Structure 1
Amino acid sequence: MPEPTDLTEDGFLGGRLRLRQPKSGHRAGHDAMLLAAATAARPGDRVVDFGAGVGAAGLALARRVRGLELMLVEIDPALAELARGNAALNALSAEVLRLDVTAGANAFAEAGLFPDSVDAVLMNPPFNDAARHRGSPDAARQRAHVAAPTTLESWVHAARRVLKSGGDLTLIWRADALAEVLATLDRGFGSLLILPVHAEPERPAIRVLVRATKGGRAPLALLQGLMLKDEEGAETLRAAAVLRGEALPLGAA
Structure 2
Amino acid sequence: MYNPDTETLETLKIGNLLYIQPKQGYRFSVDAILLADFVKVKPDERIIDLGTGSGILPLLIAALTPVCEIVGLELQERLAQIARRNVRLNALDDRIQILEGNLRQVPQLFRAGTFDVLCSNPPYRKVGSGRINPENEQAIARHEIACSLGDLLVAWKYLVKPGGRVFVVYLPERLSELLAGLTASRLEPKKLRCVHSTQQSSASLALVEAQRDASPGLIVLPPLFLYTNGQEYSEEAKRILREKDE
- The verdict on a shared fold, with TM-score over 0.5 as the criterion, is yes
Q: Which residue of 2 aligns with 1:30?
A: 30
Q: Is the 8 A contact 2:175 2:206 kept in 1?
A: yes
The alignment partner of 1:170 has SS state of strand
Q: CA deviation at 1:116?
A: 1.1
CA offset digits 1:193-245 (Å, max 9, x no partner): 00000012211000000000011114111110100111222111101111239
CA offset digits 1:156-180 (Å, max 9, x no partner): 2101101111110000001111111
Q: Which residue of 2 aligns with 1:124?
A: 121
Q: Which residue of 2 aligns with 1:138?
A: 135
Distance 1:104 1:71 in 2: 13
Aligned residues: 241
| Higher RCO structure, 1 or 2 (CA under 8 Å, sep 6+) | 1
Amino acid corresponding to residue 82 of structure 2 in structure 1: L
Q: Is the 8 A contact 1:200 1:233 kept in 2?
A: no
Gaps of at least 5 residues in structure 2 are none
Q: Which residue of 1 aligns with 2:9?
A: 9
Q: Is the 8 A contact 1:190 1:212 kept in 2?
A: yes
The 3 A distance-change label for structure 1 pair 81 and 149 is closer
Q: Is the 8 A contact 1:20 1:86 kept in 2?
A: yes
Q: Which residue of 2 aligns with 1:94?
A: 96
Match of 2:203 among 202, 205, 210: 205
Q: How high is the sequence identity, in percent, across the aligned residues?
A: 27
The alignment partner of 1:157 has SS state of helix
Distance 2:26 2:157 in 1: 26
Distance 1:14 1:116 in 2: 30
Q: Which residue of 2 aligns with 1:243?
A: 241
* Alignment map for 1:83-232 (pairs within 5 Å): 83-92=83-92, 93-105=95-107, 107-108=108-109, 113-148=110-145, 151-186=148-183, 187-232=185-230
Distance 2:133 2:171 in 1: 18
* Alignment map for 1:13-92 (pairs within 5 Å): 13-14=13-14, 16-92=16-92
Q: CA deviation at 1:96?
A: 0.8
Distance 1:229 1:238 in 2: 9
Q: CA deviation at 1:3?
A: 4.2
Amino acid corresponding to residue 56 of structure 2 in structure 1: A
Distance 1:8 1:231 in 2: 32
Q: Is the 8 A contact 1:227 1:239 kept in 2?
A: yes
Amino acid corresponding to residue 155 of structure 2 in structure 1: A
CA offset digits 1:42-70 (Å, max 9, x no partner): 11211100000011012101111124211
Distance 2:52 2:240 in 1: 20
The alignment partner of 1:241 has SS state of helix
Amino acid corresponding to residue 101 of structure 1 in structure 2: L
Q: CA deviation at 1:94?
A: 0.9
Distance 2:151 2:81 in 1: 24
The alignment partner of 1:129 has SS state of coil
The 3 A distance-change label for structure 1 pair 149 and 104 is closer
Q: Is the 8 A contact 1:122 1:170 kept in 2?
A: yes
Moved more, 166-175 or 188-197: 188-197
TM-score in terms of structure 2 length: 0.92
Amino acid corresponding to residue 74 of structure 1 in structure 2: E
Gaps of at least 5 residues in structure 1 are 247-253
Amino acid corresponding to residue 219 of structure 2 in structure 1: A
Moved more, 225-234 or 203-212: 225-234
